[in-house]
Structure formats: structure tokens, C-alpha cells
Amino acid sequence: MKNVAVIGYGVVGSGTVELFEKNRESISHKVERDCDIKYIVDLRDFPDSPFADKMIKDFSVVLNDDEIEVVAEVIGGIEPAYTYTKQALERGKSVVTSNKELVANKGAELLKIAHENNCNYLFEASVGGGIPIIRPLNKCLAGNAIEQISGILNGTTNFILTKMIREQLDFDSALKLAQELGYAEKDPTADIEGHDACRKICILGSLAYGKHIYPQNVHCSGISAITLDDVAYAESAGYAIKLIGSVKPAENGRVSAIVCPRFVSKSNMLSTVDGVYNAISVTGDGVGDVLFYGQGAGKLPTASAVVGDIIDCLKHKNRSLMISWNDCDDENYIVKYKTVKTSIYVRINAENADELKASISEMFGKLTYIERKNRPDDELAFITPTMVESEIDVKLAELSHSARIESKIRLL
């Protein structure tokens, strides 16, 4: 039975088709009936593809074919993915996706439509690529109150930071290398400024805490301002710099969520995750700390998660799996990040840097000064005590009258 359609024949789409067809016999065995891909929808022509006979350009053909049970949406972005997904779900066709932007912005609505039409909207591939995280969070860890989720959620930024740490490449050189190797897009903004990681932590937080977390309500900063000086200070103090997305409960039923570079202690396993690999740390009140690690992107790793969701939908035809969260229009649901307690690494520049130590210590109380090899006389670096971030900002504003604040990086 030809009951699957794939929308988009790019990197993930072609990987999905390739993996499904390669393992079609075992997939049919798992589903306990014959399964196959009937349509591949793409506006482009692929005359040399071994699957050219499945190619169509009109999505309405998929909508109007009652044989199609599952649609794999792997085109990315909001439109036309949102329209296609909504139409398919309203027809009772399950949809699986790797589209993190769509899930992060429209997930609550699309999950509701799926439940109303007794079908499924699954998105294992949207967060960790080939790393299983949605199912474990929704099922295996369902008996836990989730105390925090923190993770390296973007392979491009992790590759860049790894090159800066291991090979002393500056940011621009590391980014150029990432682009040459195909790890970074020509326009890398979504990766290096943290937007990609933000969408992923929003999905995880929505699932863990039951209310939709919208990306526009989450503070997000990237890695483009990180320098080799910062890398050296981190190494000297026993830390590695990583771009971390994190979410955890806050007071009064709210949550704290943020994406930013952080000093990660060498004692934390996240500090050892290098290259294009991703890792997600989850803490539950029963299970304690668990770490999910693997390739967070790539053709076949992501396709692996997409195909897994296709199988789940085929096995549960006309049955809605329980994965959902409520919509949330309360902008105060996400606490203001400046009201959260944190500790911050600060690097300053001043003619009389060392002479400022006494006044800085008086200003902050107990803090830690950091050294690095060949530290210039006009440079000073320290780690603040744990304080409400807005209070740290007030003290740094006072310090800025006698020194230039060159860098600020939160600790994990």
C-alpha cells in the first residue's frame, strides 16, 4: 500500500526517502502491513533521481488521495509548511516534521487540530536531529517533574566554538571553515545568533511544562562576540564556552528560558561535547540527570527521526497519540531574564586595570579573578558572585565609568 507522501526533496527530504526505501521491507514488517512512499512533492525537477516517478508539484493531489495516511513535511520555514500541515491534519492525515521553526511557532495549534481529527503531529526530528529526545521526554520521563533542561542544541555554533578552543581559530575564521565544510549556511544568522537553538528549547520547554513557549518571548544571544581572549580565560579557569539553551520552572507557575553563550565547568559533561555534536541534559526529580548525545543534524541522522515518526503514525492509524501542550498568550509566563540569579564572567579594559581590583571587590563582594597567559596590563577578568542579573548590570554600569566592559558571559 502506497500510503506516505514526502513534501520537500532537499537534504532531509531526500534522506527520508532514501532511508525509507532502503528499509521498506523491515518498516512494513514493523507496521504489520505493506507501506511505501507514493508521492514526493517539490516544485523543482529531479529527472535523474531514482524516485522521479514519484515526483509531483501539486500538494492538492496528496490531500485528495485517501490512500495517503502520513505526510512528512521537510521543507522548513513557516509557509507554505503551515498551510500544508494544517490542511493535511484537517483531512485526518498524520504529519511528521523536522521543521523546528513551525513547531516552535505553531505547535500548540497544530497539535490541537491533530487531536480533533484523530491523527498525529509528530516532530522528533525538530530538536535533536537523530537524537531521541521528544519521545523520552513525553513518555519515559513522564513520571518526573522536570527540574531543568539545558543543552547544546546547534551543531554549527558548537563546531565554531570547538575550533576556537582546540585550534585557536578566531570567530571569523572558524565560521568560514564551517561554511566551507557545509556546516554553516551562506547566511549563518539563525545559527550564530542563537535563533535555531531558541526554537528547539522552546519546543522542549513547551512539552516539559505544558504551555506553549514562543521564541519571541525568550531572550536569545549568539556567539559572534566571543573572542580568543574569552576562550583563554575560560580554559584557565576550568571552563569551556558553549552556546546553551536552557529552560526550568520559576515561581508562581512560570518558567525561565534563555539561549546564550555560557562558561560550562569542565566537570559538566556538556563541556566535553565537541564538533557538530549536540547534547541535551534533562534533570527529573525522580531520575536525576540524564544526557542525550549524538548528531543533531545531517541528512541521514535527521531522516532517521523522521522515518521513526512515520512508522509510529502508520502503526497508530486513526489513533491520536498523547503529545500536546496548551497555547499560552501570557507574555509574563516567561520570567524576565534580568530578574534571574546568575554568575557572570566579565572582561574589562582600563589603563590602571590591576589598581581597580580593590574597588571592584568592594563593589561585588566575594568574586574570583582569572588570569591567562600573557595577560595585558590593561586587561582584567573576573567572575561575579551569584546575583540577580539586573543588580550585576547596575554595578557594571558604575564600573564602566573607569573601565571599558569588553565581554560578559553567563556561567551555567
**Residues recognised as catalytic:** 200
Cα–Cα distance between 250 and 98 in angstroms, integer? 29
Cα–Cα distance between 269 and 282 in angstroms, integer? 12
Cα–Cα distance between 189 and 196 in angstroms, integer? 9
Cα–Cα distance between 173 and 384 in angstroms, integer? 31
Residues 6+ apart with CB under 8 A from 376: none
What are the cell numbers at 17? 526517502
- Asked whether 65 and 88 are in contact (CB, 8 A), the reply is no
Output phi, psi for 355, to 5 deg. -70, -15
- Asked whether 129 and 301 are in contact (CB, 8 A), the reply is yes
Cα–Cα distance between 79 and 73 in angstroms, integer? 11
Cα–Cα distance between 308 and 98 in angstroms, integer? 12
Burial pattern 53-81, b for ≥16 Cβ within 10 A else e, equals ebbeeebeebbeeeebbbbbbbbbeeeeb
- Asked whether 144 and 285 are in contact (CB, 8 A), the reply is yes
Cα–Cα distance between 406 and 280 in angstroms, integer? 30
Q: Which residues pair with 241 in a beta bridge?
A: 263
Cα–Cα distance between 348 and 110 in angstroms, integer? 48
What are the cell numbers at 223? 556567539
- Asked whether 247 and 334 are in contact (CB, 8 A), the reply is no
